[in-house]
Structure 1
């Protein structure tokens, strides 16, 4: 049987941290008030900092906790169960912010900055996304021009930067222009945000995750010294990849926590609710929804633990596994939360009943660090470009024969001919999605005997793969579509039916009156 409380199986430091978070949640945290005010309470960050939450994997030599990957992911699952804002605050700092500095900053900078970050005296984030390219790192337009004295002057802008206006340090990724005026590749810099030319823009008013600020940033002749480099010139993609890669599995770990908490509340309600057919939890359809939601939760957890264990063993984790964690972890996470809203009925739509806020907050995870559609197509494209790689990956698992047979049928789809780029995109999406389910089915098949629920989880994952594969083999995803122009013209025609309804009321005035400015 799997342990139900990780506190019983983790080192004392992690047990203490998990118990602190649970006690703090019961006695001090008010998620509803934070959500309404769009702000943390005054003592919030100091309280978390005192327990080491901002230095989870920073070495003890730099005043961090030095946790293993498995234990750090367990903390993320606990945070995800409590509040997505709490999760993202700590995940952005520990995952997007710290690793590029820890792995790529100059030794003197690393030694000076990491202790500050570990103790929560300063926050850090990374600035990659831009208005015109989202998270497509290779399309970065922000420019860093190298100066004769070895420093760099950065100009450009970033968007959707978590903690962008609050962090003391930001890892900025820009396109380097060398002394000859030539493009020298994407380069990373750790920037002190008090530097002249660093301008934090307004906070975006988001649907959920209202407490963690999402800012635009502007760099106006921002000059940084040579020692601010993250790695070598032109090698910034390595540091950026470090941030993104760890971020993907952390999102899955947090989503698993939200799934657990939502199901806990849904079970309480269904067990206490009587309807015309009797007890709601005993209703066959409700029982089926709960059982399948548990399977989805257990499958995501198995993948998170598998990645953590391999990292702790010093093994290389193939990039596709991180994509599977991001795609299925976040998709299944939101799907289970949505089901729990439905199971709670009217109570699920009440914002104070926790699950509704989870619904708003975790919706972002399907977009965060790359939308599901974009990265699924990317993943499928990598398999289309490298025949045999997919089966090599699935072959690492000791799965049941029928799962390997299904995977081989998926592999055959990579050889399909397509007519044009759009069909190729559709095929890549199909292959990417099926690859995710193949890996999850293989993993859960390998561990199908670990508990009473594991056989159901393995069977559920295999069924998801089988049903999606059947649809793909029947040609359903490749139906003929109207042209792009035909679709656009039809949507444009809606205005004749609904009219011009853009709201033009003046917004709130947030700037100082012109007569009062300097």
Structure 2
């Protein structure tokens, strides 16, 4: 694998940050203890803030570090290798919270808020997801009603908001109703969380990522001043998309760190472990698993670097590339982590051995910023509706002829005629997934001569594309299924076998007694 410590535009700043994070990880971080306590140490945020980690790409004129995309994503990879909670804390603030303010807040608001969040004195996040919708932003039901004095009255609720109850500012996206009662579109507001009517809900007890709170939020006649608008009325989707887009490649960059760390630990174990066949690392099957995991890791690294380099050069990055980063970056990361759990044997199932916690923490990445299934279907649907987009995307790469030939075959799947809405979804998923693998195969093909490992990575990606394409062309994904009702009836019938086992034992009382409240 080629060196991963090469820094783009600010080597001194980034080298300092990486050195700090590695030293801090060794001397100050106890991931196991944080996980058990569901909390960061008291000194954690001030320590990170002192190094500028809450203002990675905020301009120096607003007290940030002003890092390039390449450098910022390199930092995210380092954070991901250390602890997923550390990664998500900084990623949510820097990529979901800051960009809507930096790009869409009014100048006076931006100038006042950015220095505060860059120094880590205030945390910021975005609130998009709701109980009735996840990544389907257009289904937002939270309402903002414009008042005669130009302010807005917000009512509704959000769910699964990282840092939602701890942030000083939350970018809230709501459906605006104008003074005439007409729907004026999704609109964004930067909300000060001390405003009356902003209610932080309880923390969700998640399987992993236990340290970063995921809260529900409620807005009860929350009055927001006109100067808190993010962009124009009805243009909130633009600001929301900015946050989502940046978040997707950031997740891939952080997941890349987990892949590298997990493989590092798996290699140590297999090289030191003797089994019946001899040294475990020399076992042919184990060697194959490690080599293929390295290929997956190098492919994700190539994709993250490609996107970062294009952003830094000022080139437009095609939207599908961000979806590819989210889909395959997070899926392959979990595959590699899961494989490393297996390679470590019983030790992989021991929580104190790092990889097990990676397994719990990084599982959520397949859901964050839109679940894999949802956004793969969305990506495939957009490509099916405009096949030329896929052709234009692949034309950007100087890949081997056979890779472009495979991509041409992917494009021909758009001619398949689904027989039902369900089959349309299946086709969109197939095309979306194949588009992702086409991009990885093309990228790694371009780099096949860069090191002794790169040819294997290129061949591995091409093989993944070829095998999935062959399956799709053979019609395997389009087999006849039982109807939706038949599946539901069958599952409902399980109750006859396992009975009613909903647990109803009273839990802990966490609220103040009603007779003692104000």
- Structure 2-normalised TM-score? 0.99
1:31-73 per-residue CA deviation (whole Å, 9 max, x = no partner) reads: 1000000000100000000000000000000000000000000
**Aligned alpha-carbon RMSD (Å):** 1.0
In the alignment, the residues of structure 1 paired with residue 421 and residue 3 of structure 2 have an alpha-carbon distance, to the nearest angstrom, of: 48
Are 1:290 and 2:299 matched, yes or no?
Answer: no
Are 1:264 and 2:288 matched, yes or no?
Answer: no
In the alignment, the residues of structure 1 paired with residue 22 and residue 207 of structure 2 have an alpha-carbon distance, to the nearest angstrom, of: 26
In the alignment, the residues of structure 1 paired with residue 28 and residue 444 of structure 2 have an alpha-carbon distance, to the nearest angstrom, of: 38
1:412-441 per-residue CA deviation (whole Å, 9 max, x = no partner) reads: 001111112111000000000000000110
Q: Secondary structure at the match of 2:125?
A: strand
CA contact (8 A) 1:186 1:236 kept: yes
In the alignment, the residues of structure 1 paired with residue 306 and residue 7 of structure 2 have an alpha-carbon distance, to the nearest angstrom, of: 19
CA contact (8 A) 2:141 2:156 kept: yes
Aligned position for 1:190: 190
Deviation at 1:9, TM superposition (A): 9.2
Q: Secondary structure at the match of 2:387?
A: coil
In the alignment, the residues of structure 2 paired with residue 9 and residue 246 of structure 1 have an alpha-carbon distance, to the nearest angstrom, of: 19
1:442-488 per-residue CA deviation (whole Å, 9 max, x = no partner) reads: 01101111111111100000000000001000000000000000000
CA contact (8 A) 1:77 1:253 kept: yes
Aligned position for 1:27: 27
CA contact (8 A) 1:8 1:15 kept: no
1:350-405 per-residue CA deviation (whole Å, 9 max, x = no partner) reads: 00000000000000000001000000000000010002221111111000000000
Aligned position for 1:443: 443
Give runs of aligned pairs for residues 128-147 of structure 1, distance below 5 A. 128-147=128-147
Q: Secondary structure at the match of 1:414?
A: helix
1:294-342 per-residue CA deviation (whole Å, 9 max, x = no partner) reads: 0000000000000000000000000000000000000000000000000
CA contact (8 A) 2:150 2:226 kept: yes
In the alignment, the residues of structure 1 paired with residue 307 and residue 515 of structure 2 have an alpha-carbon distance, to the nearest angstrom, of: 58
Note closer, same or farther for the CA distance 1:256–1:487 as it changes in structure 2 (3 Å cut). same
CA contact (8 A) 1:124 1:167 kept: yes
1:167-207 per-residue CA deviation (whole Å, 9 max, x = no partner) reads: 00000000000010000000000000000000000000000
Deviation at 1:516, TM superposition (A): 2.4
In the alignment, the residues of structure 2 paired with residue 281 and residue 387 of structure 1 have an alpha-carbon distance, to the nearest angstrom, of: 45
Aligned position for 1:318: 318
In the alignment, the residues of structure 2 paired with residue 49 and residue 164 of structure 1 have an alpha-carbon distance, to the nearest angstrom, of: 19
Q: Secondary structure at the match of 1:251?
A: helix
Aligned position for 1:516: 516
Paired residues, number: 518
Aligned position for 2:304: 304
- Structure 1-normalised TM-score? 0.99
Aligned position for 1:393: 393
Deviation at 1:120, TM superposition (A): 0.1
Aligned position for 2:248: 248
1:190-231 per-residue CA deviation (whole Å, 9 max, x = no partner) reads: 000000000000000000000000000000000010000000
CA contact (8 A) 2:204 2:214 kept: yes
CA contact (8 A) 2:298 2:457 kept: yes
Range that drifts further, 379-388 or 2-11:
2-11
Note closer, same or farther for the CA distance 1:58–1:9 as it changes in structure 2 (3 Å cut). closer
Give runs of aligned pairs for residues 70-109 of structure 1, distance below 5 A. 70-109=70-109
Are 1:59 and 2:59 matched, yes or no?
Answer: yes
In the alignment, the residues of structure 2 paired with residue 399 and residue 376 of structure 1 have an alpha-carbon distance, to the nearest angstrom, of: 23
In the alignment, the residues of structure 1 paired with residue 497 and residue 351 of structure 2 have an alpha-carbon distance, to the nearest angstrom, of: 33
In the alignment, the residues of structure 1 paired with residue 9 and residue 214 of structure 2 have an alpha-carbon distance, to the nearest angstrom, of: 36
Deviation at 1:11, TM superposition (A): 1.0
Aligned position for 2:158: 158
Could you tell me which runs of 5 or more consecutive residues in structure 2 were left unpaired when the two chains were aligned: none
